[in-house]
Amino acid sequence: MSPLMIAGHEFQSRLFTGTGKYASADAMMASISASGSELVTLSLRRMDLKHQSDNILQPLQQHGIKLLPNTSGARTAKEAIFAAQLAREALQTNWVKLEIHPDPRYLMPDAIETLAAAEALVKQGFVVMPYVHADPVLCKRLEEVGCQCVMPLGSPIGSNMGLASKPFLEIIIEQSQVPVIIDAGIGAPSDAALALEMGADAVLVNTAMAVAQNPAQMSLAFKMAVESGRLAYESGLGEKRQQAVASSPFTDFIGSLS
């Protein structure tokens, strides 16, 4: 299985994960370890001065996992740029998952603000990974302004609806010169396998793993599905046809009975 390159960084695993929604830091670590993921997302928030929060950074760093801060909570390009600058300081990385979704009900990414922020952040030296709608035109525009990959959604965040945007993801994958990482909505390992079979370079999965009854086992299932999907893609899948094509040779031994 070929490695994935993003901004000069090589990944053996094509499964990226999030750190949200886990019952505990231990459950999160067990799950991420089982997934084999080498890149995980984190968020930033204003520090609670009265309470100590769980330290999830240390175990992640001990396992050598690359951190990808997101700009979740940003509603405009300006806020997202500020969040990215804070994240760069907090986590000492110039990688950022750019997400701007002002509407809390559907969490749909704002294309106009995202493109503006992406362009500015690339100029400031960030490796920008934008979370966007499965919009082929927008994905090309983001590539043109210097994003190192694009992250179109399969379906709404946390919805488990899988690749509802499949026809548009196919166009994005066909056109893209940068890696395509399908983010959001992937609810089952079969969704992830399909994404990789279609030629997506990676997937990002959080909710489906974190809220499973057995998160670590579900993460292993996703790992296997992603590897399976990628292997199938690299092996060359057969074309779909309207008619049957025999898998066994036609012989005339039945005819010889008459």
Partner 1 sequence: MNNEITLYVNDHPLSLVGTTLADLLEQLDKPTQGIAVAIDHEVVPKSRWATTLLADNMNVFIFESIAGG
Catalytic amino acids? Answer: 97
CB nearer to partner 1: give 61 or 175: 61
Q: How far is the CB of 159 from partner 1 (least distance, A)?
A: 12
Q: Cβ of residue 41: shortest distance to partner 1, in angstroms?
A: 6
Nearer to partner 1, 67 or 139 (CB): 67
Nearest approach, Cβ of residue 18 and partner 1 (Å): 3
Residues 6+ apart with CB under 8 A from 215: 22, 27, 28, 30, 31, 209
Interhelix angle 215-235/189-197, rounded to 10 degrees, is 20
C-alpha span between 160 and 146 (Å, rounded): 30
Judged by the rule CB under 8 A, the positions of this chain that interact with partner 1 are 18-22, 28, 41-47, 49, 52-58, 67, 69-70, 72, 82, 85-91, 157-158, 204, 206-207
Nearer to partner 1, 200 or 209 (CB): 209
SS3 label, residue 89: helix
What 3-state class would DSSP assign to 113?
helix
Residue 15 near residue 31 (C-beta atoms within 8 A): no
Q: Is 41 annotated as a binding residue?
A: no
Residue 103 CA, distance from chain mean position? 21
Residue 118 assigned to a binding site: no
Binding residues for 1-deoxy-D-xylulose 5-phosphate: 158, 184-185, 206-207
Binding residues: 158, 184-185, 206-207
